[in-house]
Chains A and B, each alone.
Chain A
Amino acid sequence: MKIKSGVQKIYIIYNQGADVMVKLSPMNLYQLLPKTNCKECGEQTCMAFAFKLVSRERELVECRPLMEDSKYAQQKKELEELLKPLEDATETGMIIYPERCVGCGNCVVACPVNVSEDPHGCAIGLGPKNDRVILRIVDGKVQAYNVSTCRRFGKNKILCNGCIVTCPTRAIEFAEG
């Protein structure tokens, strides 16, 4: 493998910022849970509990060993930090990290709902021209509106990823469980 130049090294370290952040996924939560499958929460396994945590059907306080046993104190702290963005997530599970967003508008223009609702605005790269769009940029940061029209909403949801794959800084994530 070629030795990378100084500039490349600096850029890689700088660029890893978004990549090294732990993703909010059931597997990452499971790694921090007691993994004893004690069933005190009512679920059969800790993995099942992790899935329910991400889909917001259960709360962390329902894991009694984690709350009561002091040996899990560090894991509890990490789990609480990891689950914090879920408090602000939309009904579709969309989590927006404003500190990572640069307001490029890629998600606004790529979102299929924005395109169909606003063919003369978002669809051709401009800012939204009506209030029916899901994503818009306010003060340089993306904000979500009308989440009920998102393709990920409701019973017949599909796993659309238009706004995620177009964001290289990972400012938008979905809690998937």
Chain B
Amino acid sequence: MICTGCACLCDDIELENGKVHNACIKGVALIKKAQNTHFTPVADGRKVDGEKAIDEAITKIQNSENFAIYGLDTVPLRAQQIAIDIAKKTEGYIDDASSLCMGVFVEEILLERIKSTTLEEVRDRADFTLYWGADPFNSHPRHISRFTYYPRGQFRQKGWEEDRYLAVVDIRESYTSKLAKKIIMVENDEEFIQSLIDVANGNTPSAYLRDAVELITRIKKSEFGVMFGGLGLRYGLSDIGLLKNLLDELNNLTEFYFIPMGCHPNMRGFNELLFASVGELNSYSFRDGIRDSTFSFSSLLTKEQIDTILIVGADPVASLPFEIASKIAKANVILLDPCPSYTSKIADVVIPTSVSGIGAGGEMIRIDGKKIKFEAHSLEEITDEYVLKRIEEAI
């Protein structure tokens, strides 16, 4: 079976006698929780049955004037497509977590301004791996052992001991940096990017001379390099053009690719679907027909522009800053989620749905763009797709 605990989408998970084999603790928590959680539907503070809760949700959406959909990063592609159709029909806003994290990088990749590759290619060919502003040991525990550093690839048979080089650029030490052959602690990401560009061009950089020279020398020696950009890089960068310049320079030295370190299993799927349907990635208003940063979920909440929110598979009350999250409760909140969360405590309508990969089958697009198919293992609970389809048909 497949694990949808993080963006790795591990497909070698086995269930045997109630034990989960090969999954990390994130995956085990998700799979076991999915089997043991008893979560009941709620409508306006009363426990009701599932169908009643869906009817209540439909009424709230029909009565709303400013409707928004948020989340969707953990549900399969078909459910995401239906949610986009609902937003289109209701002329509402639609957004996912990519407006806060990897959307900027994914956009550059979809527009083919940045060269990207698949994780299988990285496993088979990469001899230089750089994690920039990311700690996959904590965020994607199996990322290093499945794809980047420890596995023996088709052209990297000597593995991590001789064939691969792992470097980490971060603001602090991390568990990942303990495994790396080179760690560079930077205070200012843009300054270090500029230093790397200078060294690649044969100029003397104004800062990080020794580190930049060492890194560029190592990249020159390598045949296939890949950079994984995490949230540290995303928020340390005010201009994406600088990163693009760096990647262009590195591509002059060797074959060099970039993959974002998105955390949600199907974030890229949502980005690609919305891109195919309206030409934009996120923060889209169907009423205005444009994408703008003011239509991102956090901006809409700050300005209190929305009266009804449909949240699918997300916990914004926990993940957003308190000032913004506290405004969620002012709107009518409809939540579709497999397990109780902070958002479920304040939601007006709660509809428990199955966990993708366990109770729901479908397809997801991994953060590197590869489509992963999976099937449902149990069909006891209602799926996000079913609930969204009911809502779409009713409105």
Contacts and interface: CB of A to CB of B under 8 A. Distances in A.
Interface of A: 5, 7-8, 11-12, 15, 101-106, 108-110, 115, 119, 123-128, 136-141, 166, 168-169
Interface string B158-179: 0110000000000111111011
A109 B143 CA distance: 12
Contacts of A12: 172-173
B115 interface: no
B352 to A, nearest CB: 24
B146 A125 contact: yes
A20 to B, nearest CB: 15
Given A124-B123, A127-B14, A103 B171 contact: no
A125 B123 contact: yes
Given A102-B141, A105-B22, A168 B179 contact: yes
B105 interface: no
Contact of B144 (A7, A106, A128): A106
B150 A125 contact: yes
B318 interface: no
A17 to B, nearest CB: 11
B24 A140 contact: yes
B22 A106 contact: no
Given A105-B141, A109-B151, A110-B150, 19 more contacts: A7-B171, A11-B172, A15-B174, A101-B25, A102-B25, A102-B137, A104-B24, A104-B144, A105-B22, A105-B24, A105-B145, A106-B179, A109-B146, A115-B159, A119-B152, A126-B22, A138-B19, A140-B23, A168-B137
Contact of A104 (B21, B145, B171): B145
Interface residues of B, number: 37
B359 interface: no
A11 B27 CA distance: 24
13 contacts: A8-B172, A109-B146, A123-B151, A124-B152, A124-B153, A139-B20, A140-B20, A140-B24, A140-B26, A141-B25, A166-B150, A166-B160, A168-B178
Contacts of B160: 110, 166
B153 to A, nearest CB: 7
B21 A137 contact: yes
Residue among B26, B137, B145, B153 with the most chain A CB within 10 A? B145
A8 B28 CA distance: 29
B23 A103 contact: yes
A155 B352 CA distance: 58
Interface string B117-151: 00000010000000000000110011011110011
Nearest to A170: B178
A72 B154 CA distance: 59
Contacts of B142: 103-105, 125
Contacts of B147: 125
Interface in B182-241: none
B48 to A, nearest CB: 35
A165 B208 CA distance: 28
Contacts of B150: 106, 109-110, 125, 166
B12 interface: yes
A140 B142 CA distance: 11
A4 to B, nearest CB: 8
Contacts of A136: 21-22
Contacts of A109: 145-146, 150-151
Nearest to B177: A168
A59 to B, nearest CB: 34
B146 A105 contact: yes
A106 B160 CA distance: 11
B152 A104 contact: no
A137 B23 contact: yes
Nearest to A162: B161
A117 B22 CA distance: 17
A122 to B, nearest CB: 9
Contacts of A104: 24, 137, 141-142, 144-145
Contacts of B21: 127, 136-138
Interface string B4-36: 000000001110000111111111110000000
A166 B174 CA distance: 14
Given A8-B171, A11-B173, A106-B150, A139 B14 contact: no
Contacts of B13: 127
A163 to B, nearest CB: 11
Contacts of B23: 103, 137, 140
Nearest to A15: B173
A23 to B, nearest CB: 16
A26 to B, nearest CB: 25
